Amino acid sequence: MGTATGELPLSDFEASDRGLKRVLSRSQLLLLSLGAIIGSGWLFSAITADTLAGPASYVSWIVGGLLVLFIALTYAEVATMLPRSGAVVRYPHLTHGGFTGFILGWAYLLASASVPAIEAIATVQYIGPQAPASWHLLQSPVSTSSVINFPEGWLFTVFFLVVFFFINLYGARFLGRLNNTVMIWKLIIPILTFILIFALSFHSHNFAPPGGEATAGWHEVFYIIPGAGIIFSYLGFRQALDFGGEASNPQRDIPFATIASVLIGIVIYTLLQLAFTGGIVWHFFGLHTNDYAGLGAPSSNAGHILVTASPFFAIMKASGVAFLVSVFSYLLIADAFVSPVGTGYIYLGTGGRTIYGMGVSGYLPKQSVRLSPRTRIPWVALLASFLIALAFSIPSKSWFSLVGIITSMTVFTYIMGGVSLQIFRKTAPDLARPYRLGAAWFWAPVSFLAATAIIYWSGFTTDIELIALLFIGLPLYVWFFAAARGYMNRWVAYAIGVIFLAAWILLMHWGHWVLSPASAAPYSTNVKYHAPFVLWYLLVCVSVYGFTGLTWLFSSKPGRHLINRSIWLITYILAEVLLSYYGAFGVTTHVPKLLTFPIDTIWALVIGLICYYWAVKSGYETEEIRSITDSGSGLVPEESAAPAAVQA
């Protein structure tokens, strides 16, 4: 039974949390986060970063890591106050209610559940050149990277996804112990890689003119932060948050694991990028000295083909140092299996916890919160996570084809870190906070602006994909949440959802930004292949605000209340997309650059700051957070056995 505002009391909202096992230690939480950070990113991002930004690419790793650290700081406080599995998708529901919670939960679901696919693809792509020719794992590269062949390479990808699933199925304790072992390897190999390159095959002249620092302009240094997989590589810090409900001492251990994992990641990734840049042997790749742009150009040179498919492996082969060529280079091929696999199984578990968190909030069918009676993990949600990853693996032929949109989708959900912190300080001031962020008045908006900068720097073509995937999920809100809660008549909800879904698909196709051959490079950056932007954008706004308005019109008073608290979120993302079209990170052909870098970024941050304070003002004391505060503790007590209502 809902309350006066349609929300759920604690007894219903968090009942399934009592059945989770609290088994993860501080070191296991740290290694889960670090294990998700040290994945496929270091294997592929270095060459793309150098191609676009030249030897200044190491700056991108430092800046990107600091931006993620600002976000992590705010979540560290919130997670110690309310440690929950699937935490990131649950906090918005507690601060703004169902509509905001659903939009951000949907975005996070797509992002987290698709990462296992990209890690499986990374494994196949990296080891592909070493596989027997009869396996046909890869097609020949036509741009900056090789692509997975279908069906042979794709079936190999599926094999890894199945492995990820069964590792998680054995339970959180097994996952934590396995990851402890795997992480020893995952840390040793990258560290040895940059040490050996620095000692045996480092060429300082790669940093000198004519290559110089930012060879393509300093805006590229910021553009590659989301686009080259740099932010993607840091996103793993959230694992300690999303496994928080299964931590043995969450209020002590989550802040440590969250912050320490980012700091360690910054050091390792920055040194790896410096080592890669300094280790390039230009003639081996058929390039002139310091021709960084040439690294990304198509080529028939055997060394060039190798470096686009297996970057650090190629650096070792090009070095001419016997040990690097004959021994360590093949350890890198082994790591191309271990690192992505070690990240992939973690993210498949995160995807399951995300689906579980959305089920707890009522956004998905109640079956999604069922726990295994033996391991007490959300096995239905885990299966759904596997199926979503499988779906993402089918159209995605390379690591780079998924990185940008996953990064933007994930970071979009991270705007809530600082917002949630400020709202919870007002609505739940008495809940214990073993970690309390000092100067939160400063760090909370900085966290929001850090996420805003990453989203804006992702570029217009990526942000278009973001809103296409983000808003296509809106019908699920009225079908599964609003109708089930009694906010709307079920048949009216179905009708509004179907009409919007049809209109949205047609609009995306007509614009040719997605769902069209013109949405792929090189057409995606040339405006003449697309519908008139101003008209298309106005229709996008009419569709999204129209759906929101109709939902408000046909909702009960509690349902309207949730819509009112969410207008800031819709306005925020639509405004940033409009700005990105005319800024330095927009399309490159036939579009006037009304705003150049860094003026365009300043405007993006101004819009972000306005929406931040709007978001904080829109937050309120939801019935769920009131139930938690009435209980006197943000911790959910563990039961000795899973309750029958949530067992399989």
Per-residue pLDDT tens over the stretch 556-601: 999 999 999 999 999 999 999 999 888 887 766 556 667 788 899 9
What's the confidence (pLDDT) of residue 544? Answer: 97
Give the C-alpha distances (Å, rounded to integers) separating 498 from 459, 492, 554. Answer: 30, 10, 15
Instruction: Please compute Rg for the chain using Cα positions.
Output: 24
- Would the pLDDT of 380 be above 50? yes
Is residue 5 scored above 50 in pLDDT?
Answer: no
Q: Is the pLDDT of residue 439 over 70?
A: yes
Stronger pLDDT, 368 or 62, i.e. the higher one: 62
pLDDT at 500: 97
Distance CA 222, CA 67 (A): 11
Question: What are all long-range contacts of 577-582, with beta carbons under 8 Å and residues at least 24 apart?
Answer: 577/460, 577/463, 577/464, 577/466, 577/467, 577/537, 578/537, 579/456, 579/603, 579/604, 579/607, 580/456, 580/459, 580/460, 580/463, 580/604, 581/460, 581/533, 581/537
Contact (Cβ atoms closer than 8 angstroms) between residue 6 and residue 559: yes
Range among 412-421, 506-515, 582-591 rated most confident: 412-421
Listed range (72-81, 220-229, 324-333, 560-569) with the worst mean pLDDT? 220-229
The two tokens of residue 359 are: 């089920």
344 dihedral zone (left: phi>0; alpha: psi -120 to 50; beta) = alpha
Q: In this model, does residue 628 exceed pLDDT 80?
A: yes
| Whole-number Cα distances in Å, 538 to 237, 461, 525 | 37, 17, 20
Distance CA 200, CA 351 (A): 41
Q: Please report the pLDDT score of residue 89 as a whole number.
A: 79
Band of pLDDT at residue 7, cut at 50, 70 and 90: very low
Q: What is the pLDDT of residue 225?
A: 85
Q: How confident is the model at residue 379 (pLDDT cuts 50, 70, 90)?
A: confident
Q: How confident is the model at residue 279 (pLDDT cuts 50, 70, 90)?
A: very high
State the average pLDDT over residues 369-378: 79
Question: Band of the pLDDT at 398, cuts 50, 70, 90?
Answer: low
pLDDT band at 165 (very low <50, low <70, confident <90, very high): confident
The pLDDT of residue 4 is: 40
Contact 226, 400 (CB under 8 A): no
Per-residue pLDDT at 642: 42
Higher-confidence residue: 419 or 635?
Answer: 419
What residues contact residue 419 under an 8 Å CB cut-off, 6+ apart? 95, 444, 448, 612, 615, 616, 619
pLDDT for 640 equals 52
Confidence of residue 296 (pLDDT cuts 50, 70, 90): confident
The pLDDT mean for the chain works out to 82
3-state secondary structure string across 336-384: HHHHHHHHHHHHHHHHHHHHHHHHHHCCCCHHHHCECCCCCCCHHHHHH
Residue 605: count of CB within 10 angstroms of its CB: 19
Structure tokens belonging to residue 468: 């296409």
pLDDT at 67 over 80: yes
CA–CA separation, 599 and 218 (whole Å):
13
Q: Is the pLDDT of residue 506 over 80?
A: yes
Categorize the per-residue pLDDT at 515 as very low, low, confident or very high, splitting at 50, 70 and 90: low
pLDDT above 80 for 149: no
Percent of the chain with pLDDT over 70: 84
pLDDT tens digit sequence for 24-52: 888 888 988 888 888 777 877 888 888 88
Average pLDDT on 322-327 reads: 86
- Per-residue pLDDT at 641: 43
- The stretch 497-503 carries a mean pLDDT of 96
List the single range of 172-186, 210-224, 228-242, 542-556 with lowest mean pLDDT: 210-224
- pLDDT for 1 equals 37
568: Cβ contacts below 8 Å, ≥ 6 apart = 611, 614, 615, 618
Which pLDDT score, from 0 to 100, does residue 10 have? 43
Examine the pLDDT at 368 and tell me if it is beyond 70.
yes
**Is residue 66 pLDDT above 90, yes or no?**
yes
**What integer pLDDT is reported at residue 417 of this predicted model?**
93
Residue 139: pLDDT above 70?
A: no
Q: Which CATH number applies to 24-458?
A: 1.20.1740.10
